[in-house]
Structure formats: structure tokens, C-alpha cells
Amino acid sequence: MLSLLHHKETNTLDILDLDQWSFYVLSKDKLKNISNNSSSISLIRLKKENIEPVNFSILSEKIQNL
């Protein structure tokens, strides 16, 4: 799982507010594969691979379905 703080307004930013985050759920093998065993990956690459972000409310379900 990868996480991204997507909230952009600094005056309302709250890192503890999970609604301000996006989560990308994928297996370790898939991550290795699409990153070519690199230590980083871009959002563009995730989008090209059709890996869509999910919000916190369904994160557990996505992880269990993995």
C-alpha cells in the first residue's frame, strides 16, 4: 500500500484527517513489477497501470481483497 496526502490547502491541512489522504493498494510483486524493481514509483506510472486511489473508508476491504 502506498499513501498520498492529496489535500493542497495549507490553512485546512490536517495530516490526521484520513479523508485528506489517498491510498493505492497493490501487491508487493505488482509494485516490483511496475517499478522495475526501483525504490520509487510515480503517480503517472500508477495511473498508467490503472491503479486507482481509494479513500480510507474502503481501504480495509481493498487490502482484504488483494
* H helix runs in the chain, sequence order: 28-35, 43-48, 59-65
pLDDT tens column, 1-14: 999 999 999 999 99
Domain spans of the chain?
2-65
pLDDT band of 17, cuts 50, 70, 90: very high
Question: What pLDDT is stored for residue 41 in this prediction?
Answer: 92
Residues 6+ apart with CB under 8 A from 42: none
Greater pLDDT, 20 or 40: 20
pTM attached to this predicted model:
0.86
pLDDT tens column, 32-63: 999 988 888 999 999 999 999 999 999 999 99
